[in-house]
Amino acid sequence: MDKIVTIIGGGLAGSELAFQLAESGIKVVLYEMRPKKMTEAHETGFLGELLCSNSLKAESLDTASGLLKAEMEMLNSLIIKVAKKNRVPAGNALAVDREKFAKEITEILENHENIKVIREEVKSIPKDRPLVVASGPLTSHNLSKELKNLFGGELYFYDAISPIVDAESIDYSKCFFKSRYNKGESDYLNCPLTEEEFDRFYDALMKAEKVEFRDFEKGAVFEGCMPIEELAARGKQTLLFGPMRPVGLEHPKTGKKYYAVVQLRKEDVEGRAYNIVGFQTKMKIGAQKEVFRLIPGLENAEFLRYGSIHRNTYVRACDYLDSFFRYKDDLLFFAGQITGVEGYIESAATSLIIAKFLVNYFNGKKIKPFPETTALGALSRYVSTHKKDYTPSNFHFGMLPPLDKKIRDKKRKKLELSNRALNALKEYLQSEA
């Protein structure tokens, strides 16, 4: 049996899968249409390019993202390994230098002896098997039509991208460096607002001209990447309890408390650019300049990238895929955000599950589903279990079975869930060895 797998899409999911299979001695043909044909949101032809944010979220085991990353490390995840090598300061979060991160992933895959990268658009589902579709939330129109036939319809939601400002254009006299509650290093640049400044910002935000959805594009916006103006429309308090919450951000020298605070995070190691945290937007460019320059310290901000909103496509996986992301017992698999998982690490994690299946398949071995008490098992179950309303989701602790004992302390409870998951995954991997 020839050990060859075809993968469509060179995002995080496709990149992770290609690496895992190649490292196991399986030949991989990886199709990526960029830069020959670009999407609405990508800027480069690099494999594994990040779009919405440069953060892969928190690392501590009392967080869902921390547990998922720990499990991925146990499976030798390429994405986590390269992310840690190209990290930038971000408190308790794992944030990366986008360009260096994607460039290294590209170099690793393009130079791997078992991987052939083909830069062209795949317009229809090939007959090659095994085949993995990891075309991502920005799947081309041609391929989307094929998916619609396979899955009985096509669903949409929208991701919004935060703006990035030139570090040299920030007025640092009006800001201060600090992480919330002094957790970790002082990696965030904080722009404090008085009540009067906040009211002025809020009023301008509500009046700003925004990009409207066309009729055929209208759909639900994912809560985890909600545009700032959509949050504001729910009321002022939504911002004060959300991306502009001041709690834990008293001035490090004076102890002064503020009515609202906007946080900025480094986009690169050198600190030449900053991302406005949680300020993804669908405002038009002129409105972004006007509104965001009302934030103290950003009065003369030069924007290296404006915020934007783009289409995300996902299929109704819960009625068609099994726990290994396999379509109807065929050797046709779907990986990444197109399956209905949401988030960078979740996308890459789906490929670790598929890789485990394919390596066993080529070696003539059966494979058991990942334990339900693990984050990987929870993602498998979420995608493969029927739901009336199937919407994109990050991994969260609520996906895991409850503990045998009740623990009131929330942090301790999460740590117990994480420890249980890691122990279960360790036993699973040992049994599969």
Q: Give binding residues for FAD as ranges.
A: 9-14
Q: What angle do CA 313, 318, 319 make, to 5 degrees?
A: 105
Q: Tell me how far apart the alpha carbons of residues 222 and 157 are, in angstroms, rounded to a whole number.
A: 6
Could you tell me how many helices (H) and strands (E) the chain has, helices first?
A: 12, 17
- Helices of type H across 183-263: 195-207, 228-232, 236-240
Specify the long-range contacts of residues 414-423, CB closer than 8 Å, at least 24 apart.
414/61, 414/62, 414/63, 415/61, 415/62, 417/67, 418/61, 418/62, 418/66, 418/67, 418/70, 419/61, 420/373, 421/67, 421/71, 421/371, 421/373, 421/374, 421/375, 422/67, 422/70, 422/71, 422/74
CB burial string 74-87: b at 16+ within 10 A, e below: bbebbbbbbbeebb
Residues of the binding site: 9-14
What are phi and psi for residue 202, nearest 5 degrees?
-60, -45
The maximal CA–CA distance of the chain, rounded, in angstroms, is 70
List CB contacts of 60: < 8 A, sequence separation 6 or more: 66, 92
